[in-house]
Amino acid sequence: MPEYLVKTADITELVRSLSLEANLQLPKDVRKIIETAEKNETDPLGRQALQDILKNAELAAEKRMPICQDCGLAVVFVELGQDVHVVGGDFEGAINEGIRLAYTEGYLRKSAVKDPLFERKNSGDNTPAIIHFKIVPGNKIKITVSPKGMGSENMSRIFMLKPADGADGVIESVLQTVKNAGANPCPPIIVGIGIGGNFESVALAAKEALLIPSGVRNPIREYANMELDILKRVNALQIGPGGYGGETTALDVHIKTLPTHIAGMPLAVNICCHALRHAEGVIEGKEKNG
């Protein structure tokens, strides 16, 4: 079996580049659904808020400035090909160095504190990143950087539902989460929903659901229908863009499911603001002695 090498320096450079792109450039799929929402929004204040969001994204890209002043905690998803051998240093250290360089070079706000409760001293470079590794077949490394601000993260919730709660329990929990959040997560929002697994895995599933491209539905019909039903009901809350009222409280809803225990039905609702920032790239390993 061939061995494929990837240098930590290449990982650092990719993370640096992706961190800047994610913070400065609104993803095309997100921009497209905001543009569609702006055309369809009938509330004058809500429509003005959507126009302001689009103008902000345009200026951020043009002037190379952050889309939002909260440049978030750096969340990094890594799909590591099992045939890859990382050389030249520590993998996690290489990722954190990329974050450090990007947040310094781009004058991005550093929001990470080392101790969560007592000292709460800023790390000064937005590290450490929150890193999720997944081992996959192949000789490549795929890295996704998704900066996540705390305004919407604070409004997210986990519920340990019972199987008897069923679909109605899921829908009601999601709606109550969004209703309680109100304008705090900077709507219009994208809602990532995880169902199944256990306490820790369902939260990750909900966050991964946010990375599903806008407009792409769950491959299982029942869940796809639930996504659309929840989206319709959320928008009926009339919280609207910026909390000013209107038909666009949410831009999209995505569900990711996991196998779970016979006695439980964990549910996680991860809310993201309209600035659903993410960028991804791939490094292909070079065959050793090749």
pLDDT confidence of residue 30: 97
Radius of gyration of the chain from its Cα atoms, rounded to whole angstroms: 20
Residue 218, both tokens:
């769950």
Of 16, 56, 13, nearest to 34 (Cα)?
56
Distance CA 120, CA 143 (A): 29
Contact in structure between 96 and 12 (CB atoms under 8 Å): no
Position 279 scores a pLDDT of 98
Q: How far is the CA of 225 from the CAs of 85, 219, 259, in angstroms?
A: 42, 10, 20
SS3 helix, strand, coil % of the chain, rounded to 5? 40, 25, 35
Per-residue pLDDT of the chain (290 residues; tens, 9 = 90+): 789 999 999 999 999 999 999 999 999 999 999 999 999 999 999 999 999 999 999 999 999 999 999 999 999 999 999 999 999 999 999 999 999 999 999 999 999 999 999 999 999 999 999 999 999 999 999 999 999 999 999 999 999 999 999 999 999 999 999 999 999 999 999 999 999 999 999 999 999 999 999 999 999 999 999 999 999 999 999 999 999 999 999 999 999 999 999 999 999 999 999 999 999 999 999 998 75
pTM summary value: 0.96
Give Cα separations from 211 to 68, 98, 226, 252, 271 (angstroms). 18, 21, 18, 11, 12
Spatial separation of the C-alpha atoms in residues 241 and 249, rounded to whole Å: 6
| Contacting residues for 7 by C-beta, under 8 A, at least 6 apart | 86, 87, 88
Quick check: 207 and 269 in contact, CB under 8 A?
A: no
Length in residues, the chain:
290
143 contacts 21 by C-beta, under 8 angstroms:
no
Location of structure tokens 């509330």:
43
C-alpha span between 115 and 131 (Å, rounded): 18
**Which class for 26: exposed (0-12), middle (13-18), buried (19 or more C-beta within 10 A)?**
buried
For the range 226-230, what are the long-range contacts, defined as Cβ-Cβ under 8 Å and sequence gap of 24 or more?
Answer: 226/167, 226/170, 226/171, 226/255, 227/252, 227/253, 227/254, 227/255, 228/253, 229/171, 230/171, 230/174, 230/175, 230/191, 230/193
Looking at residue 290, its pLDDT comes to: 58
* DSSP string across 27-42: -HHHHHHHHHHHHH--
